[in-house]
Structure 1
Amino acid sequence: MTAQPAIRLSGLTKEFGAVTAVDSVDLVIAAGEFFSMLGPSGSGKTTVLRLIAGFERPTSGTIELFGKDVTTRAPFDRDVNTVFQDYALFPHMTALDNVAYGLRVRGVGRTERRERALRALASVRLEQLAARKPSELSGGQRQRVALARATVVQPKVLLLDEPLGALDLKLREQMQVELKQIQRDLGITFIFVTHDQEEALTLSDRIAVFSAGRIEQLGTPRELYEQPASRFVADFVGTSNLFDADRSPHLIGCSGEHTIRPEKLTLSLEPRSGEGVRSAPGTVVESIYVGSAIRRVVDLDGGLRVTVLERNDRSRAADQERGERVHVSWHDEDVVALIPPGT
């Protein structure tokens, strides 16, 4: 990575009539970074991507690309490229011609155009399918053709608007691995928009979690998962057990709101003790087999329902009956205090 950031957003705001889609966002994205914008529908993440691409003009604020103000520049006058969910490949063209199209528009000669397009297809391991048309390719292959087409013109920044959303689960997981490898090989800054928190955690160097047009929290995948700063982030990024202000003093021993991840909790028939260890009695209300793990739902006597995620290591029965009395235990160091919004 270089000292010059790839993207700098300063006070970026976008209003659609009375609706503020993006609310004074400040953000710096490093060169060569795989950066994700994560959030539910309507959180502002896609609007920010469209502002960076130039498809929308901000109501206020500035957008800098490698130190140059591009706020008012047209999309074709920015050194960025975009991959959309539908890929938008030309159905009458071969994979090779689809990839070479951007070079053709830029006036690159036939021989160089073909060589660069073949290299781009090779970078996504599709050179052997260069002569096929989109209808003859699988969903994953079409996605890789779209990536090759976007990267062949060597943009400084590649914008990806939920490009894996149309794929089935197995193929999406495979493409997540391939997408990260492609980004490392090319060294291009990737800005990835998704509502899938697991996808963001898998791919990203850093993630911005959006809510109501603002960045709720910015950090590495580990920071967001292990140290969520708010109730929204704790609930949206992964699965969390939330202890509200009424129950925290009794169960956690501290005031305020707190959270703990399901895999940090353990079940036992007797209460566990020790320095920094707490236990609470409860009743198993559901036991769900999920392959590599078993998800237990427990109603604590204190009136709170929690989820416990246990490894499927055969130490406990996967079909544990409902109604069993258990003790849920955790370490104080695994409890995270949540900061209320605006504080």
Structure 2
Amino acid sequence: MVEDDTNRGDAASGAPAVSVQSVTKQFGDFTAVDGLSLDIRPGEFFSMLGPSGSGKTTVLRLIAGFEQPTEGTISLFGDDVTKKAPFDRNVNTVFQDYALFPHMSVLDNVGYGLRVRGVGRADRKKRAMRALESVRLDHVADRMPSQLSGGQRQRVALARATVVEPSVLLLDEPLGALDLKLREQMQVELKQLQRDLGITFIFVTHDQEEALTLSDRIAVFNAGKIEQLGTPRDLYENPASRFVADFIGNTNLLDAEVSHTVLGVAGDHSIRPEKMIVSRSEDAALGVRSAAGSVVESIYLGNSTRVVVDLDAGVRVTVLEQNVRKHTPEDARGERVFVQWHDEDVVPLQPAA
């Protein structure tokens, strides 16, 4: 049986790896995806980030072919696949539940997709071993899935998904079942694997730190639409809306009234906690604003201290101070202080639609 090269990624064609155009998906009266248009570049690590019910997983399923759009088109490298079945699209999906076959060895699990495609035994073994080498698990090829750790099973699932050389790899919160330390380790390994393979990765997550760590670009989803699209730095440093500012990282949101009082400007604004400092003196350098207040709480976090201050202007802000020198515990609650920041670190936010 000869493998079908239909939809195989061709970055030289100049077409997006994935193009979603004017796509709407309705489930009865509920609109899960609302008129979405999005182009994802070849070789890009692209993340779709948002809370539960925001539409990100539905978009992933539409790209995979597990769902059909109510309206709109989906293309892979310029080829319209809107009405094609999942097995007719050169994509593969890694789920949170790795779904490894418990009765098969690791090697046979990885080679299963090749077996279904009619690849001969010798070639299948060779390619499966090469895929295991890419995730540094060739030494466990003869083991059963039950003999592996959670992180190893996750890497086996990645090897199984990539061995068939898909043009696009879809990942539906694949790290969600891992503990924090292992998840952070796997984030580094996943990014390195994507760079080595050069495959377009589309990653769905609700974890903003994970998206910032892994992605070339991120689409922040809200109510079936993209609230903002950009690089991790763009989204963190210049959030366009209150939703994005609040969802990605921690921030201090100042409404129009507080902005007028504290900043002397109109509209809503955002200031990240690490962009502020707590001073015991009102004196401020040129270009630095200062607002008086009282410390509500000072929380030692090891590498930093979170200081919560009630400003006299009637708003509570959080300041994140790095513990660059040895921290001496002290009870600062009730202390009068001045919160200071640079004007350039204040980000104006678009009004809610």
TM-score by length of 2: 0.95
Q: Does 1:301 align with 2:303?
A: no
Out of 239, 260, 264, which is 1:253 matched to?
264
Q: Does 1:115 align with 2:123?
A: no
Report matched runs for 1:18-167 at 5 Å: 18-167=29-178
Q: Does 1:202 align with 2:213?
A: yes
CA distance in 1, matches of 2:231, 2:328: 36
Specify the SS of the correspondent of 2:278.
Answer: strand
Q: Does 1:262 align with 2:245?
A: no
Out of 333, 340, 346, which is 1:322 matched to?
333
CA distance in 2, matches of 1:133, 1:337: 54
The farther-off stretch of 119-128 and 286-295 is: 286-295
Tell me the residue number matched to 1:224: 235
In structure 2, the CA distance between the partners of 1:98 and 1:337, relative to structure 1 (3 Å rule), is same
CA RMSD in angstroms comes to 1.0
Sequence identity, in percent? 72
Equivalent pair of 1:287/1:318 in contact (CA under 8 Å): no
CA distance in 2, matches of 1:272, 1:70: 63
- How much has 1:234 moved relative to structure 2? 0.2
Specify the SS of the correspondent of 1:247.
Answer: helix
Specify the SS of the correspondent of 1:246.
Answer: helix
CA distance in 1, matches of 2:242, 2:96: 30
The farther-off stretch of 314-323 and 210-219 is: 314-323
CA distance in 2, matches of 1:316, 1:141: 39
Deviations 1:283-308 (A, max 9, x none): 11111121211111111111111110
Deviations 1:106-131 (A, max 9, x none): 00000000000000000000000111
Specify the SS of the correspondent of 2:160.
Answer: helix
CA distance in 1, matches of 2:262, 2:140: 60
Q: Does 1:244 align with 2:244?
A: no
Counterpart residue identity of residue 137, structure 2: L
CA distance in 2, matches of 1:30, 1:319: 51
Counterpart residue identity of residue 295, structure 2: V
Equivalent pair of 1:294/1:318 in contact (CA under 8 Å): no
CA distance in 1, matches of 2:195, 2:166: 15
Counterpart residue identity of residue 181, structure 1: Q
- How much has 1:259 moved relative to structure 2? 0.2
Count of aligned residue pairs for this structure pair: 342
Q: Does 1:190 align with 2:185?
A: no
Tell me the residue number matched to 1:179: 190
- How much has 1:38 moved relative to structure 2? 0.1
Tell me the residue number matched to 2:8: none
Counterpart residue identity of residue 255, structure 1: A
CA distance in 2, matches of 1:327, 1:319: 18
Specify the SS of the correspondent of 1:249.
Answer: helix
Equivalent pair of 1:217/1:224 in contact (CA under 8 Å): yes
Specify the SS of the correspondent of 1:286.
Answer: strand
- How much has 1:252 moved relative to structure 2? 1.1
CA distance in 2, matches of 1:291, 1:192: 31
Q: Which sections of structure 2, spanning at least 5 residues, go unmatched?
A: 1-10
Deviations 1:195-229 (A, max 9, x none): 00000000000000000000000000000000000
Out of 180, 184, 193, which is 1:169 matched to?
180
Deviations 1:293-339 (A, max 9, x none): 11111111111111100101237644442111110000000000001
CA distance in 2, matches of 1:65, 1:88: 26
Tell me the residue number matched to 1:274: 285
Once superposed, which parts of structure 1, at least 4 consecutive aligned residues long, lie more than 6 Å away? none
